[in-house]
Copies of this chain bind each other. A is one copy, B any other.
Amino acid sequence: MAASTASRLSPPRFHVSPRSPHPPLRRSRFSPVRAAKLEAVLSIGTHLIPHPRKAASGGEDAFFANSDAGGVFAIADGVSGWAEKDVNPALFSRELMRNSSNFLNDEELQVNGDPQILLMKAHAATSSIGSATVIIAVLEKSGTLKIASVGDCGLKVIRKGQVMFSISPQEHYFDCPYQISSEAAGQTYQDALVCSVNLMDGDMIVSGSDGLFDNIFDQEIISTISESSGVDEAAKALAELARKHSVDVTFDSPYSMEARSKGFDVPWWKKLLGAKLIGGKMDDITVVVAQVKTVAVPDEGGDIEEQKGNEQGIAVAVASAVQNEE
């Protein structure tokens, strides 16, 4: 409350350019190219690094990415508490992702591409015991990204060097996220955060399990993306930076800052010695980086299929860490 040590903020607001009498003419977002239309597609890069103590088993995260029909990706983070009940937490997340991928060819989903319905069907088809946080994102040809998320997987959209869209985590209390579960006490597709965002050519999507966003700040994501030559390199660089922070006990991570803000701290006698609760969070780290591109396709019904695919030609990949980690 020392008023004398406080300074009032008063940086200037926007200084405008000389006025003109009328608002500018507006252009349509897509140029009217004759006999062709523009469709949005995703180039997708992925990288998964398991928890250091779970490297042999591949960790408990799972994901899939599919560039067909615009682009779809999903991430599931198996809740590790199941190990205490002698259940392998990876089984549920992996089966959920496998089922999600399989249902992409479902007739209803071919029509509406609704990630919440995909989650509902994949969940109902999953017979493994366990639970997982999950995010599913589907890009419509129009450029709208549709998202369904349960728990604390994250997704951010970066446009012109800034985070212009970000989803909020859902949790029961600190470190206990909402989760799709084999148990009646868990959450279902009805509890999902369901939202969408209109994307533009060049937008970058960064999605991941909490192992990514607990260990890396927005500004680091933006600079890492800008220094990477493509989505694969960006996904790998983000995962490796998050892993580096995750094992650094001196790094004041987003996770440790969140913990302190929720009242967690070191014992009082450590506080007296100047200690505070810091450090990264060791966890499985899954990263999906996707770039939006608009491609021209013929406006006839005919041979569109060849042209609308992702230029990187990423096939369906239901992945666990073993495949991705050196």
Contacts and interface: CB of A to CB of B under 8 A. Distances in A.
Interface of A: 1-9, 11-20, 22-24, 26-27, 29, 79-82, 84-85, 87, 116, 120, 123-124, 126-127, 129, 131, 162-168, 170-172, 174-177, 179, 181-186, 188-190, 193-198, 249-250, 255-256, 259, 264, 266, 270, 273-279, 281
Contact of A13 (B1, B80, B162): B80
Nearest to A151: B14
Nearest to A219: B261
26 contacts: A2-B250, A3-B249, A4-B275, A5-B273, A5-B274, A5-B276, A6-B249, A6-B275, A9-B264, A9-B279, A11-B259, A13-B80, A14-B79, A14-B179, A16-B82, A19-B183, A20-B184, A22-B182, A23-B184, A26-B189, A162-B170, A165-B193, A166-B166, A194-B197, A194-B198, A196-B197
A264 B4 CA distance: 18
Instruction: Quickly give the copy total for this chain.
Output: 2
Given A2-B250, A19-B129, A176-B14, A259 B9 contact: yes
Q: Nearest 4 A-B pairs (CB), nearest first? A: A5-B275, A24-B184, A194-B198, A195-B197
Given A9-B264, A168-B165, A85 B16 contact: yes
A26 B85 CA distance: 26
